[in-house]
Amino acid sequence: MPRVTLHLGHVAIELVLESHDVEVAGSPYLDWFRCRVRVIDGEFSGVAQWNVMPAELNRLATDLVRIHDAYPRQEGLAFEPVEPNLKLSLAVDTRGQVEGTYELVRTFVDSPSLRGSFTIEQSVLPVAAAAIREFVAAATSHAA
């Protein structure tokens, strides 16, 4: 199964495709990846099932490149997908460091969560974007 691990400083976010449910390829709400998402933050970790649209992951990759290319302007992003089991927030500071936060929730109502922060160099952003795009391409072709 396709998988990707994003290394964001001391935090690792791993996505593993479990299935690809397609009614109409590329259409909002009709094309979903069912993934297992695992966040590892030092000695803490959490796992959740996550339904995410390929377009949402592609948008995240585009936004990562956008804030990288905008440097030295201070740009940021908030990744809050339709099914918000995983949320990310990133902002580039004037020195080129990226301050980020994440939140992983098991379910949307009354569920435990794992939250934390990380700092990375802005040079990590296009690498993470490329890894996300490769995951989307592999997951899409895996279902075909």
The per-residue pLDDT for range 43-102, each reduced to its tens digit, is 999 999 999 999 999 999 999 999 999 998 899 999 999 999 999 999 999 888 999 999
pLDDT of amino acid 144: 56
What per-residue string of b and e applies to 26-44 under the rule 16 or more CB within 10 Å gives b?
eeeeebbbebebbbbbeee
CATH says 3-143 is which class? Answer: mainly beta
Tell me, yes or no, if the pTM score tops 0.75.
yes
pLDDT of amino acid 94: 86
> What torsion, rounded to 10 degrees, do the Cα atoms 52, 58, 63, 68 define?
130
pLDDT of amino acid 107: 84
Average pLDDT (7-30) is 92
> Mean pLDDT in the chain?
94
End-to-end CA distance of the chain: 13
> What torsion, rounded to 10 degrees, do the Cα atoms 128, 88, 33, 109 define?
160
Look at residue 108 and tell me whether its pLDDT is greater than 90: no
Q: Report the distance separating Cα 39 and Cα 14, nearest Å.
A: 6
Look at residue 143 and tell me whether its pLDDT is greater than 90: no
